[in-house]
């Protein structure tokens, strides 16, 4: 595949996909699996991908299988739960030199880092989409509660396939065939 | 029954009810069954019915049992996932020479073609109703997520019976008796 | 108990609690049980109660156990599904000579008569509350879908206890002791 | 731990955590457990905590294990279901000499005292958060219905962890380490 034209203004931000967290959340293997799908789809569609890591010097880095999907992965460490906490180095690193209009969120945990990042992004005026099948939590009921709260706050709460099929728009898209292979592989 | 007076401005649009998709979605036989109910009710109420087919030259046409319910069925092929994608031949074919105020959606898949068609219809200023028992998806959780997102976007998310009983308004409607027979047959 | 002072502007409207429908809806005995609770509570609180009956000449009258709870019950027959259909005799009969500000709805079926009555009441500018434990439907999933749609349309979707405890406001209310006995009896 | 700086304007209000109610609600032991978590977290974050008791002269006082977590606990008895009923002594006692901007609610029962207190607080212009894992009811379905109604009315409906992790903001907070110990202890 030739390198796709970037989707202007979109960023897939994968939050804290570190093994220590993936092991702790309910259905963590499934969350990782769907995040792999999202990363593969984003790359094929020309959507830039970035990873955050919570205190990696202590908790370890991002799951290797995910990083391996991206050449020269963009990784930002953080100590705040929100990747976009006002004045934080992580926020500066993610946003500088880049125009973000639409932040697409994956990762863990929905009620903590995903929630706080989404709230900060909404307050910053960004369009925010949380990929429901690419996020997770230790306490599953908390996850549903937080997604509903984010929806009321203005976030788009959508499955990954819905977002990517919407960007593809039709079977005429050059990435369509590869994408349907990804849908099968990760289904 | 004499031919009913058309319900002004309403259109029941049945999306991609092709066997290849009906076999893939969860509870596909049930979705087809409820779509048959919706088509029968729409016809009895004088609501025009149209079908779309996704790349039928490759994926096959609409389920024969559904087409057989309509004389000279109106069928539109498409390559875009949305039946109303801006500038698409399918949109032109569906909308030209017809005044649509209220688009009633049935078919598959909720998170892809139903979702994108509903979004485009809302943006075009149409009233949109998705018949919850007449839509389906491979990934059922995705379906619920998308219906909630469409509700927040302004679509009416209602069961088929609710919509048709609302149009009937009372037992004095000439189609009432036949309709209750349909309710039983497809219940 | 001495006759309570009427709660100004409130009306508990019990829709179509006819055995033919109570037998058809899912958990019909439970719906009737909770409607009995609502009728008893309304009467103790001085909220007027009215019943509608769908084509009673054909489908039979309201469940006798419910009617027996009210002296000289107010009963309105109807042919429209909505009890407040524009221009219908039932609407005239319910509303004439009475100031309604807040319509409290119980009965069956949620996706048909409850839904249409609530929509008409909202359009008439009334506050509408649907008692979630006092309504029912043949198709239970349809019921949930319709309650969510009514909530978006502006109806209050609340359990009966919540509504009546809110009217009581505290244990100092003269009906409090009797009400707690009803809560136990119908719990 | 040195005494934390108070979180300006926040108050954790624990409603009616009396054994008579905790025994009656579904999963009451779990509700108490999560309320203990909320009280411990609030205290560590410098959020004042107050308790209400419904007619304690008759129904007994707050569960001793909860009171024991707070030195000189602030307790307000009440006869109204709402802790903030207009003109009630409880409202005066809770609000006087204190600036409340954000009321955080825990306790029982969601469809009665939590619901009515939240409604009064919203009407008084306060930000209101109901901690979903720290509230309960005899009738669990009623609980969900009421939380959804409160969300539509403008309350924040969030899990306790989400609220406290948001206040912590990051691992640099002096209470972070102790808080993670609480998360484990009460998880």
Q: How high is the pLDDT of residue D3?
A: 53
Which of 108-167 (A) contact D at CB < 8 A? 111-112, 115-116, 119, 138-139, 141-142, 145-146, 148-149, 152
Q: How high is the pLDDT of residue B4?
A: 58
For the segment C20-48, what is each residue's pLDDT rounded down to a tens digit? 999 999 999 999 999 999 999 999 999 99
Token couple for D82: 């709402």
Instruction: With CB atoms and an 8 Å threshold, state whether B132 touches C145.
Output: yes
CA neighbor of D114 nearest in space, from D147, D151, D73 = D147
Residues of A in contact with D158 (CB under 8 A): 111, 145-146, 149
Beta bridge partners of B49: B12
Q: How high is the pLDDT of residue C1?
A: 38
**Per-residue pLDDT averaged across A68-76, rounded?**
97
Give the C-alpha separation, D101 to D47, whole Å.
12
Burial of C135 (0-12, 13-18, 19+ CB in 10 A): buried
Chains A and B touch (3+ CB pairs under 8 A): yes
CA neighbor of C10 nearest in space, from C76, C103, C123, C97 = C103
Percent of chain D predicted with pLDDT > 70: 97
Does C80 lie at the interface with B, CB-CB under 8 angstroms? yes
Residues of A in contact with D168 (CB under 8 A): 81
For the segment A132-168, what is each residue's pLDDT rounded down to a tens digit? 999 999 999 999 999 999 999 999 999 999 999 999 9
Percent of chain C predicted with pLDDT > 70: 97
Does D172 lie at the interface with A, CB-CB under 8 angstroms? yes
Q: Is the pLDDT of residue C3 over 90?
A: no
Does D100 lie at the interface with A, CB-CB under 8 angstroms? no
For the segment A46-65, what is each residue's pLDDT rounded down to a tens digit? 999 999 999 999 999 999 99
The nearest CA of chain C is from the CA of B26 a distance in Å of 16
The nearest CA of chain A is from the CA of D133 a distance in Å of 8
Average pLDDT of chain A to the nearest whole number? 96
Contacts of residue B57, defined as CB under 8 A and 6 or more positions apart, other chains included, come to: B77
For the segment B111-165, what is each residue's pLDDT rounded down to a tens digit? 999 999 999 999 999 999 999 999 999 999 999 999 999 999 999 999 999 999 9
Give the C-alpha separation, B30 to B53, whole Å.
19
Q: How high is the pLDDT of residue C4?
A: 58
Q: How high is the pLDDT of residue A176?
A: 98
Instruction: With CB atoms and an 8 Å threshold, state whether B146 touches A159.
Output: yes
Task: Return the residue of D nearest to A142 by Cα.
Answer: D159
Does B26 lie at the interface with A, CB-CB under 8 angstroms? no
Query: Which of B151, B169, B173 has the most C C-beta neighbours within 10 Å, making it the best mutation to test the interface with C?
Result: B169
Instruction: With CB atoms and an 8 Å threshold, state whether C146 touches B165.
Output: no
Give the C-alpha separation, A59 to B73, whole Å.
61
Average pLDDT of chain C to the nearest whole number? 96
pLDDT range class, residue D6, cuts 50, 70, 90: low
Residues of A in contact with D151 (CB under 8 A): 148-149, 152
Which strands make up the sheet holding D156-158, listed edge to edge? D74-78, D49-54, D10-15, D102-108, D127-136, D156-158
Contacts of residue A64, defined as CB under 8 A and 6 or more positions apart, other chains included, come to: none
Give the C-alpha separation, B146 to A156, whole Å.
10
Q: Distances in Å between the alpha carbon of D110 and those of B111, C165, D133, D142?
A: 34, 12, 11, 8
The nearest CA of chain B is from the CA of A92 a distance in Å of 31
Beta bridge partners of C51: C14, C75
Provide the terminal-to-terminal Cα distance of chain D, rounded to the nearest Å.
Answer: 22
Q: How high is the pLDDT of residue D100?
A: 96
Where do runs of H (alpha helix) occur along D96-158?
Answer: 115-123, 140-152
The nearest CA of chain A is from the CA of D79 a distance in Å of 31
pLDDT range class, residue A7, cuts 50, 70, 90: confident
Token couple for B28: 């596909």
Angle between helices B160-168 and B28-45 (to 10 degrees): 10
**Per-residue pLDDT averaged across A1-8, rounded?**
60
Q: How high is the pLDDT of residue D2?
A: 46
Chains A and C touch (3+ CB pairs under 8 A): no
Q: How high is the pLDDT of residue B3?
A: 53
CB C139 within 8 A of CB C111: yes
Give the C-alpha separation, A160 to A132, whole Å.
7
CA neighbor of C12 nearest in space, from C148, C170, C128, C91 = C128
Does A55 lie at the interface with D, CB-CB under 8 angstroms? yes
Residues of B in contact with A162 (CB under 8 A): 111-112, 115, 142, 145-146, 149
For the segment C50-109, what is each residue's pLDDT rounded down to a tens digit? 999 999 999 999 999 999 999 999 999 999 999 999 999 999 999 998 999 999 999 999
**Per-residue pLDDT averaged across B163-184, rounded?**
97
Sign of CA dihedral C29, C30, C32, C33: positive
Task: Could you list the beta-strand ranges (E) of chain D.
Answer: 10-15, 49-54, 74-78, 102-108, 127-136, 156-158
Q: Distances in Å between the alpha carbon of D54 and those of D15, D81, D95?
A: 8, 8, 18
Q: How high is the pLDDT of residue D119?
A: 98
Give the C-alpha separation, A18 to A55, whole Å.
10
Contacts of residue D133, defined as CB under 8 A and 6 or more positions apart, other chains included, come to: A139, A141, A142, D34, D159, D160, D161
Give the C-alpha separation, C121 to C13, whole Å.
11
Q: Reduced to 3 states, what is the DSSP secondary structure of residue C93?
A: helix
Q: Is the pLDDT of residue B21 over 80?
A: yes
pLDDT range class, residue B89, cuts 50, 70, 90: very high
For the segment C139-152, what is each residue's pLDDT rounded down to a tens digit? 999 999 999 999 99
Q: Is the pLDDT of residue C5 over 70?
A: no
Q: Is the pLDDT of residue D7 over 70?
A: yes
Nearest to C80 among B156, B162, B169 (CB): B169
CB atoms within 10 A of CB D122: 17
CA neighbor of D137 nearest in space, from C133, A36, C65 = C133
H/E stretch holding C141: helix C140-152
Contacts of residue A68, defined as CB under 8 A and 6 or more positions apart, other chains included, come to: none
For the segment D120-157, what is each residue's pLDDT rounded down to a tens digit? 999 999 999 999 999 999 999 999 999 999 999 999 99
Token couple for A88: 């934080």
pLDDT range class, residue C7, cuts 50, 70, 90: confident
Task: Return the residue of C nearest to D55 by Cα.
Answer: C171
Does C80 lie at the interface with D, CB-CB under 8 angstroms? no
Token couple for A117: 């990042």
**Per-residue pLDDT averaged across B7-36, rounded?**
97
Q: How high is the pLDDT of residue D5?
A: 60
For the segment A91-141, what is each residue's pLDDT rounded down to a tens digit? 999 999 899 999 999 999 999 999 999 999 999 999 999 999 999 999 999
């Amino acid at each position: 595949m030739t390198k796709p034209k970037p989707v202007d203004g979109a960023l897939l931000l994968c939050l804290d996909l570190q093994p220590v967290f993936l092991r702790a959340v309910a259905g963590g293997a499934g969350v990782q699996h769907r995040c792999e799908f999202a990363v593969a789809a984003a790359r094929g569609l020309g959507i830039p991908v970035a990873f955050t890591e919570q205190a990696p010097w202590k908790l370890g880095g991002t799951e290797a299988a995910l990083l391996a999907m991206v050449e020269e992965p963009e990784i930002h460490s953080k100590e705040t739960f929100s990747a976009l906490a006002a004045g934080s180095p992580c926020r500066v690193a993610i946003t500088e030199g880049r125009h973000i209009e639409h932040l697409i969120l994956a990762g863990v945990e929905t009620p903590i880092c995903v929630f706080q990042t989404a709230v900060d992004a909404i307050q910053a005026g960004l369009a925010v989409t949380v990929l429901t099948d690419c996020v997770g939590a230790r306490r599953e009921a908390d996850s549903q509660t937080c997604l509903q709260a984010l929806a009321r706050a203005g976030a788009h709460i959508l499955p990954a396939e819905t977002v990517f099929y919407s960007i593809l728009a039709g079977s005429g898209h050059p990435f369509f065939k590869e994408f349907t292979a990804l849908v099968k592989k990760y289904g």
